[in-house]
Amino acid sequence: MKSVGEVMAIGRNFQESFQKALRGLEIGIDGLTSPQMVHQNKQEYTDSIKNELRNTNPERML
């Protein structure tokens, strides 16, 4: 059973609450840190981010 603070993603500010909410999804991500950035150079990563921002989808925040 999860604690109330974890389920509700309570934090001191928006950033902390949002990171906690993402970790609480339990889908293999650890907040907003992207595992793809490790495998790409900075320009490729920037281009992929711009491309994803142009196309709306349910995973846009991730």
Residues 6-46 have pLDDT tens digits of 567 788 898 888 888 888 877 777 767 666 656 668 888 88
Contact 16, 32 (CB under 8 A): no
Does 45 map to a domain? yes
pLDDT of residue 52: 80
Residue 61 inside a domain? The answer is no
User: Two tokens at 59?
Assistant: 């995973």
- Is residue 43 assigned to a domain? yes
53 sits in which H/E element: helix 42-54
Domain with 28 in it: 4-54
Q: Are 20 and 9 in contact (CB under 8 A)?
A: yes
Q: Is 36 within the bounds of a domain?
A: yes
Number of domains present in the structure of the chain: 1
